[in-house]
Structure 1
Amino acid sequence: MTTGAARAIGLGASAIAACGVAATAGGLARSRLRRPTGEPGELTEVDGLTLHSLVHRAGGPTVVFENGLCCPCTTWSWVLDGIADRYSYVAYDRPGNGWSGDDGKRRSAREINELAAELVAHYDLPAPYVLVGHSIGGLLGMSFAAAMSHDVAGLVLVDSSHPEQLVRSSAQRDSMPMVDHAMGALFWRTLLGRKPSAPAVSFLDDLPPHQAARTKSAMERPSPWRAALREVRTFYAWSDELRTATLPSSLPVAVVTAGQTDVGDSKHRELQSELAALSEVGSHVVVPGADHDGIVMRQDDATHVIDAIEWTIAQSMAQPQRTRGV
């Protein structure tokens, strides 16, 4: 709207100034929502989106990582360093997270799985695949393993969400409105150009220093919080998809549980044990003192995730190849 047009419909000087401020603010907001530059990994176009991945080729099974809520793929840094000499891997940013672009769409778990499958195909990473999912990423790992079981060698669930946790755990159910509010507040805070509050990103301090700094920088933008808000509101739909999914009974499943998560939720250990029981070849390790984020992002705790990946691959290699796409 031009100044002349504003005056023609009766806007005064203060209103005209306010329009200019709003337009400037809108432009800044749009710029903050753009995909950031300076990505540490590789970029590729998938389904019309620019997706960012950390990719490593070393032969053997390919380990595919699904991040927790709002977390960039760099949050796996300790784990990636621990397996790089033995296995290929891809850790990627879902739409809106880290250094990936965003189109604002809500996607089913199956649609997210298809993005991941296109990435491993694009980078020519060999099957079989071991899915590793943290928190809400565990739901996506289970969905991938169920839908593409012929190419999947194993599943590692790291303090994972459970498809029925909002039905059976009052602590989890009661916390959802607070999580929704927190993600929304962080979105608006960063959209207005303010940094996230220190507690909101303090868990990143346990990453290797160079990764902690770049990951915090990525999370100073509004897109990860908008994406997190979208995923929180899609949780029920993803859970419903998992209720009808079936994993092969012989698929190795390793569950790594953060001991501190049990403190605030008496149902957590029970639900985690059920995840390990999804397979006849299951393992469940509880890490005392580990919290929900630190189990991935603290170096000492991350060794348990590395051990779970090793166990899963060893169990898979000991099985006949009938269940694997090789």
Structure 2
Amino acid sequence: MAWTFIGLAAAGLAGSAAQRAAAQRDERRFPAPGRMVEAGGFRMHLEVRGEHLGGPTIVLEAGLGSFSPNWHWVQQALADRLRVVAYDRAGLGWSDPSPAPRDAATMAAELHTALHAADIEGPYVLAGHSFGGLVVRAFAELYRPETAGLVLVDASHPDQWARWPVPSADRIQLISLRISAAAARVGLFRIVDAFGAVSAGLPERQVAELNARFALPSTSDVEAAEMRAWEPITRPFLHRASALGDLPLAVIGVGVQPMGAQTLDALQEELPGLSMNSARRVIADATHESLIADREHASRVAEAILAVVDAAGGESVETAWTARETHPAIR
């Protein structure tokens, strides 16, 4: 028993040392591709592509634990006609950690601070993938005059965990994130590919950038903090939020759901009701991850964003989206 314990302790120490060395190597291999901007006591990473030619600026909000490289194809598809900002929430990617709670409203306020510090003024069309959908909805509530439209990309619903068919699924998720953080501390994710689905389809550089940061224990720690704030803070905030009125809103869902399909589809069907000027599409062969990581699926997301930009000029989202689908310019 004693020798077993000693062996495990030695393996853990060796793994931790290897993890620290790998993290230092990744810092040199993958410097921040964008700008580091003051966001109120910490620095936030913003990757800005394209010129501001007079239309809304596009802001891309990644899912739980993910960050800017995940949006590569979408950003590339839009940057020849619009200014597009992909960024990293505090503690993720290249952004510094923030001491504030990780609820959607706080993170939306941090984003707003960073955008203005970078002299990137609104109006903004914000696209949120997965958990990022909660953050862009909070942004629209806090900064409605600066919000020109929203795109919810297989976005999370505030009631997802309350209505999930497995009891206490959010607590199970939190436990798994604590285990992930412990595994990352001893370098397990350097030898086990646990995140391939998130980046499958992206260019090699972006895959490597994502994997380097996913392997850090701090990434799982931030994910857990975002999860902890979901039920007690984020969900009530969004339930209290004002109606979107006729704010342009595009909702994109997926046809391939490996688990919880009935619940997730029902939640997605509710999202267009947030606005009187909305439209919804389902990409039949897309998964939750491929919707932005696969180039063809990402082009459909970019198309939806352009439709919302068009609708911000006075069209209905349905009319604008149908026109974009009929005459695709970016596929």
TM-score scaled to structure 2, two decimals?
0.82
Structure 2 Cα separation of the partners of residues 183 and 106 of structure 1: 17
1:209 aligns with 2:188: no
Contact 1:32 1:191 in 2 (8 A): no
Residue type of the alignment partner of 2:88: D
1:112 is aligned to 107
1:90 aligns with 2:85: yes
1:49 aligns with 2:42: yes
Contact 1:90 1:120 in 2 (8 A): no
1:290 aligns with 2:283: no
1:179 aligns with 2:173: yes
* Equivalent position SS for 2:161: helix
Structure 1 Cα separation of the partners of residues 98 and 249 of structure 2: 33
Q: Kindly report which structure 2 residues correspond to 1:136-151, keeping only aligned pairs within 5 A, or say none.
A: 136-151=131-146
Deviation at 1:202, TM superposition (A): 3.8
Contact 2:164 2:260 in 1 (8 A): no
Task: Count the aligned residue pairs.
Answer: 302
Structure 2 Cα separation of the partners of residues 192 and 147 of structure 1: 40
Deviation at 1:319, TM superposition (A): 6.0
1:123 is aligned to 118
Contact 2:50 2:80 in 1 (8 A): no
- CA offset digits 1:140-192 (Å, max 9, x no partner): 11111121111111000011111122223325x55323322222222111112
Structure 1 Cα separation of the partners of residues 117 and 184 of structure 2: 33
2:250 is aligned to 254
Q: Kindly report which structure 2 residues correspond to 1:285-324, keeping only aligned pairs within 5 A, or say none.
A: 285-318=281-314
- CA offset digits 1:207-254 (Å, max 9, x no partner): 112211222112221111111111111111211110000133110110
More deviation, 282-291/46-55: 46-55
In structure 2, relative to structure 1, the CA distance for the partners of 1:29 and 1:198 (3 Å cut) is closer
Deviation at 1:103, TM superposition (A): 3.9
Where does the alignment leave 5 or more consecutive residues of structure 1 unmatched?
1-17, 321-326
Structure 1 Cα separation of the partners of residues 197 and 155 of structure 2: 21
Structure 1 Cα separation of the partners of residues 294 and 22 of structure 2: 33
In structure 2, relative to structure 1, the CA distance for the partners of 1:279 and 1:152 (3 Å cut) is same
Which of structures 1 and 2 has the bigger CA Rg?
A: 1
In structure 2, relative to structure 1, the CA distance for the partners of 1:133 and 1:161 (3 Å cut) is same
* Equivalent position SS for 1:277: helix
* Equivalent position SS for 1:261: coil
Contact 1:36 1:99 in 2 (8 A): no
1:190 aligns with 2:164: no
TM-score scaled to structure 1, two decimals?
0.84
Structure 1 Cα separation of the partners of residues 134 and 89 of structure 2: 14
1:132 aligns with 2:127: yes
- CA offset digits 1:88-122 (Å, max 9, x no partner): 12111111111111145423322211111112112
Q: Identity over aligned residues, as a percent? A: 29
Structure 2 Cα separation of the partners of residues 80 and 25 of structure 1: 36
Structure 1 segments of 4 or more deviating over 4 A? 28-33
Residue type of the alignment partner of 2:303: D
* Equivalent position SS for 2:152: strand
In structure 2, relative to structure 1, the CA distance for the partners of 1:303 and 1:238 (3 Å cut) is same
Structure 2 Cα separation of the partners of residues 248 and 126 of structure 1: 21
Q: Kindly report which structure 2 residues correspond to 1:161-180, keeping only aligned pairs within 5 A, or say none.
A: 161-171=156-166, 174-180=168-174
Structure 1 Cα separation of the partners of residues 110 and 21 of structure 2: 25
Structure 2 Cα separation of the partners of residues 125 and 262 of structure 1: 39
